[in-house]
Amino acid sequence: MTGVTSSRPRLRGLFAIAAVGFLALLLNACGKEEQAIPIALAGPFTGNAAAFGDKVRKGAELMVEEVNARGGINGVKVKLLIGDDAADPKEAATVAQRFAADARIPIVVGHLNSSCTLAAQPIYSRAGVVELSYGSTNPRIAENSPWTFRNIYRDDVQGPTVARYAQTILKLRKVAVFYDNDDYGIGLKTGFVDEAKRIGLTIIAEEAYTRESTDFTPQLTKIRAAGPDAIFISGLYNEAALIASQARKLAIRTQLLSADGALSDDLIKIGGQAVEGLILSVPYVFSEEDPFAKRFKEKYGEFPDSWAGQAYDAVGIAIAAITAVGPNRAKIRDWLASRTTKEKGYQGVTGLTVFDEHGDVKKPVFFATVKNGKFVPAAQQLPNG
């Protein structure tokens, strides 16, 4: 009995020491966590564009990991804060509210879908935080707000380039157009159709559809009757894959064209044989020897697509900005706006980012095709492309 009672105080003391030690550890950990600079990353990590979001997150995480391995920004680590907009403008606005209200966040990298970037735009502008999109191509995006930047071309560049490619390289004459009825699909389609008319391509049909449609046979049947040389799909990979497979089922064997919205492994997974030979415009195509592609493959066991590269670069630009002027929202904006010459531009894995007065970039448009179930650079690129 006495033994037990005498050991009690000692035990209590031990507990106290352990508790203090644990608390100190916890505080220490919190302190470190608090110190890391949070960079917000917004994109479609679930929903009908989730395949993009997956690559985006992987690309962004790789950049953060590499920067932290080099000691972070002046010795301070960086971390990502993920915001999922599910490719839905309503969700994008919610995510934007959350990020804008969090004063620790110096810059938001996102969103991907043009409709999401546009929906979030007024919220970021009001709060005075930069929205740096890695994938929104709708023409109006950067012009609308001094707080919006992007490291990808505009659809009034991409669309016309596809039209010129169709005419000069593929020698097509009659094209039918399918477009997603959102900011991306319409912006891209308009760019394509305007240029097509200017250079003498005939547009024999323009068919709109809504996201998550699954039946395109009525429109395809109508298009088949008009006998096009090619079908241009201005939309995202899910619907592009369905349009392709339903076209093949209706014995439409014409050339299929699309743009960067179709650039996802899911296009091939869903479209299978039907998307073989489809040609699409993309921000960048990585070769097997590309050092970034190798690092990416080593970490994730899969090959990066343009979106992984675009997100990697966008996070890189955000980190460069914070390195230069510190985690200050207004200063970051001014610093980005001053990146207007080649010398001041950011050299990333997808090319050089130099902003114009709106926050748009001039980056070339590349062409890729599906060959044996993989995206490869198209045999021919446009000379200035």
Residue 250 near other proteins by CB under 8 A: yes
Does the bond joining 111 to the residue before it have cis omega, within 30 degrees of 0?
Answer: yes
Residue 32 near other proteins by CB under 8 A: no
Among 10, 171, 251, 298, binds other proteins (CB under 8 A): 251
Among 7, 168, 181, 338, binds other proteins (CB under 8 A): 181
**Least Cβ distance, residue 85 to other proteins (angstroms):** 13
Given a contact cutoff of 8 angstroms between Cβ atoms, the answer to whether 90 and 111 are in contact is no
Q: Which is nearer to other proteins, 165 or 232 (CB)?
A: 232
Q: Which is nearer to other proteins, 26 or 250 (CB)?
A: 250
Residue 51 near other proteins by CB under 8 A: yes
Among 198, 222, 344, 362, binds other proteins (CB under 8 A): 222
Residue 225 near other proteins by CB under 8 A: yes
Q: What are the structure tokens assigned to 92, written together? A: 């994008």
321 burial class (0-12, 13-18, 19+ CB within 10 angstroms)? Answer: buried
Residue 275 near other proteins by CB under 8 A: no
Residue 190 near other proteins by CB under 8 A: no
Binding span for other proteins by CB under 8 A among 17-25, 134-142, 218-226, 303-311 = 218-226
Given a contact cutoff of 8 angstroms between Cβ atoms, the answer to whether 105 and 38 are in contact is yes
Please report the sign of the dihedral spanned by the C-alpha atoms of residue 230, residue 236, residue 237, residue 243: negative
Residue given tokens 């966590």 in the structure block: 33
Binding span for other proteins by CB under 8 A among 138-146, 165-173, 221-229, 331-339 = 221-229
**Least Cβ distance, residue 259 to other proteins (angstroms):** 19
**CA 50, 151, 85: angle at the middle one, nearest 5?**
30
Among 242, 280, 318, 368, binds other proteins (CB under 8 A): 242
Backbone region of residue 279 per phi and psi (left: phi > 0; alpha: psi in -120 to 50; beta: other values): beta
**Least Cβ distance, residue 52 to other proteins (angstroms):** 11
Residue 221 near other proteins by CB under 8 A: yes
Provide φ and ψ at 209, rounded to 5°.
-145, 165
Q: Which is nearer to other proteins, 34 or 212 (CB)?
A: 212
Q: Which is nearer to other proteins, 157 or 270 (CB)?
A: 270
Site string for other proteins, 197-216 (x = CB under 8 A): ----------xxxx-xxxxx
Say which residues have a Cβ less than 8 Å from residue 351's Cβ, sequence separation at least 6: 284, 363, 364
Residue 122 near other proteins by CB under 8 A: no
Residues binding other proteins: number (CB under 8 A) = 36
Residue 254 near other proteins by CB under 8 A: no
Provide φ and ψ at 374, rounded to 5°.
-140, 150
Residue 234 near other proteins by CB under 8 A: no
**Least Cβ distance, residue 183 to other proteins (angstroms):** 15
Residues 282, 45: Cα–Cα separation, whole Å:
21
Among 90, 249, 344, 362, binds other proteins (CB under 8 A): 249
129 burial class (0-12, 13-18, 19+ CB within 10 angstroms)? Answer: buried
Given a contact cutoff of 8 angstroms between Cβ atoms, the answer to whether 365 and 159 are in contact is no
Say which residues have a Cβ less than 8 Å from residue 186's Cβ, sequence separation at least 6: 179, 180, 234
Provide φ and ψ at 359, rounded to 5°.
105, 15
Q: Which is nearer to other proteins, 118 or 270 (CB)?
A: 270
- Catalog residues that contact other proteins under the rule CB under 8 A: 46-48, 50-51, 181, 207-210, 212-219, 221-222, 224-225, 238, 241-242, 245-246, 249-251, 266, 269-273
